Amino acid sequence: MSFNGRMYQSQQLKQEMKINPRLYQAMELLYMPLLGLQQHLKQELAENPFLEMTEADAEQEVELKPEPAKEEKVPKEEIDWEEILLDGFDAGGRRPQYEEREFFQPTVVEARDLRDHLDDQLRLLDLSERQMRLGEEIIGNIEDDGMLSCGLDQVVKGINGWLAEIRDVAVDRADDLEGDARARQLVDVADTLKAYTMEEAEQMLARIQLFDPPGVAARDLRECILLQMRQHDLGGSLAHQIVLEHFDDLINHRWSDIAKSMGIGPRQVQDAADEISRLDPKPGRKYAPPQEQYIIPDLIVDKIAGEYQVFVNDTSLPRLRLSRAYREVARDKNKFKGENKEFISSKLNSANWMIQAIEQRRQTMLKVMNFIVNRQREFFEKGVQHLKPLTLREVAEHIDMHESTVSRVTNEKFCQTPRGVYSLKFFFSSGLSTTSGEDISARGVKDKIQTLVGGEESKRPLTDQAIVNLLKSDGVKIARRTVAKYRDQLGILPARMRKRV
């Protein structure tokens, strides 16, 4: 401490809680999904010589082989463990099985996307270099859904900025050459780099808008639909006229207003709207590279003899055990001292801890999933509408663990059940009261709402209040605003926009 320019020493008592690095690792192991854990264990196997994979099949095969006669036995090669440990576990001399072999790394082939498809069509046109550069600039600003990402004026501004930089470089280069023939040539090139005009950009955009897929390079949804109608020869149709003159009423499903304005019947408007709905609002999606997502379930729930059993799907994980050879080394207390002994002790403890941590992770996952299965048995028997409300805290209290531990266990984990593959988070949901005194999960209520809307009459769709009344008759207490919120989350339009004439 310093006081009036002088330094003083003082004692102070303070309580601190420091988390053991092992605890951090244990939390990370709980958090890891199956694929992540596989990679982590492979890395541990590579770094820690005291860990090895169990190979039960191989061991069994060795045990079944008849022992050769004494005279046929090959003398075992003496292994200098001290040299191995001190030399970074290098096994020494080359043997035939360790000979370098040629290995070809698989090459990832980049998938072609919408821009590649448009560039191919651009190069089929008879264009000057100047036009080609403008076309490439426009295509470069088209989003994956096929829409132009910015205004055409921004495209022109961007490419003209690039031209200005090229012109400045050419002029500077000409000044350095001090008037020779090459300098005059550079100046002439700079003079030909004229700025692009909006008229040129509009002409090029119009040509690109004729490309496949229909509707590409549109600046908004209305233009996208109009472009598709033009390419499908719907230019003079009623649907075309509605999009051209009554687009706002169209997207808000105001059929009566459109019919009154155009002097036609609402049914004609409805038929035209149906025709429009068959067009693609995002034409570029068909050229988007497929986003493949593979899910390997961490847990398996199976019904055996009328009871649901839970298993950890860890057959693909490396089975770890302490290396027999290195355990023998560790037992020799007199052979290694100082740093060597400290190194061996550290690696051995780390290996022991890793094996225990993997087993602890396994047991924790089983505890959590067994409680979920017991709590949600009706879901496994009858379906989503019978899900019960469940929180992380309830599970944590039941298995006597912290809520954050349960959260880590359920994060990005999947379970294979007789009803399909589900995320563990699927089984957690808030609840609503019923007239019978039982609770029902919010997910179950959403499924009921979706079922009710799916079975409604198209001419008389259910309002939010009507859904409230139907759920109430089914024993579910729910407010109208909650129904509206759940309906929005399900992507269901309001009743007036679902109505058909």
pLDDT surpasses 50 at 67: no
Residue with tokens 């012109």: 167
Q: How confident is the model at residue 339 (pLDDT cuts 50, 70, 90)?
A: low
pLDDT surpasses 50 at 169: yes
Between 332 and 415, the higher pLDDT residue: 415
Instruction: Count how many Cα atoms sit within 13 Å of the Cα of residue 291 in the half-sphere of its side chain.
Output: 3
Listed in sequence order, the residues at least 6 apart from 303 whose beta carbon sits closer than 8 Å to its beta carbon are 309, 380, 418
> Which pLDDT does position 354 carry in this prediction?
83
- The Cα diameter of the chain in Å comes to 108
> Which pLDDT does position 292 carry in this prediction?
62
pLDDT surpasses 60 at 326: yes
Q: How confident is the model at residue 433 (pLDDT cuts 50, 70, 90)?
A: low
> Which pLDDT does position 345 carry in this prediction?
75
> Which pLDDT does position 185 carry in this prediction?
63
SS3 134: helix
pLDDT surpasses 50 at 142: yes
> Which pLDDT does position 366 carry in this prediction?
92
Q: In a 10 Å sphere around its CB, with 0-12 CB exposed, 13-18 middle and 19+ buried, how is residue 147 labelled? A: buried
Instruction: Count how many Cα atoms sit within 13 Å of the Cα of residue 423 in the half-sphere of its side chain.
Output: 9
Structural contact between residues 152 and 199, judged by C-beta atoms closer than 8 angstroms: no
pLDDT surpasses 60 at 364: yes
**122: nearest Cα among 135, 113, 133:** 135
- The structure tokens listed for 277 are 């709905």
Chain segment 235-247, per-residue pLDDT in tens: 889 999 999 999 9
Q: What is the mean pLDDT of residues 374-391?
A: 89
Lowest mean pLDDT among 147-161, 213-227, 315-329: 315-329
pLDDT surpasses 70 at 103: no
Lowest mean pLDDT among 57-61, 134-138, 485-489: 57-61
pLDDT surpasses 60 at 346: yes
The full DSSP string for 277-342 is HTS-SSGGGGGSPP-------SEEEEEETTEEEEEE--TTSPPEEE-HHHHHHHH-TTT--THHHH
> Which pLDDT does position 105 carry in this prediction?
44
pLDDT surpasses 50 at 43: yes
> Which pLDDT does position 63 carry in this prediction?
37
State whether the Cα torsion 87-89-95-101 is positive or negative.
Answer: negative
> Quick one: residue 178, left, alpha or beta (phi over 0 = left, psi -120 to 50 = alpha)?
left
SS3 501: coil
pLDDT surpasses 60 at 56: no
> What's CA 446's distance to the chain center, in Å?
24
Task: Tell me the C-alpha distance between 497 and 251, whole Å.
Answer: 9
> Which pLDDT does position 355 carry in this prediction?
82
Between 284 and 350, the higher pLDDT residue: 284
Predicted TM-score (pTM) of the model is 0.61
| C-alpha triplet 443, 447, 450: angle, nearest 5° | 135
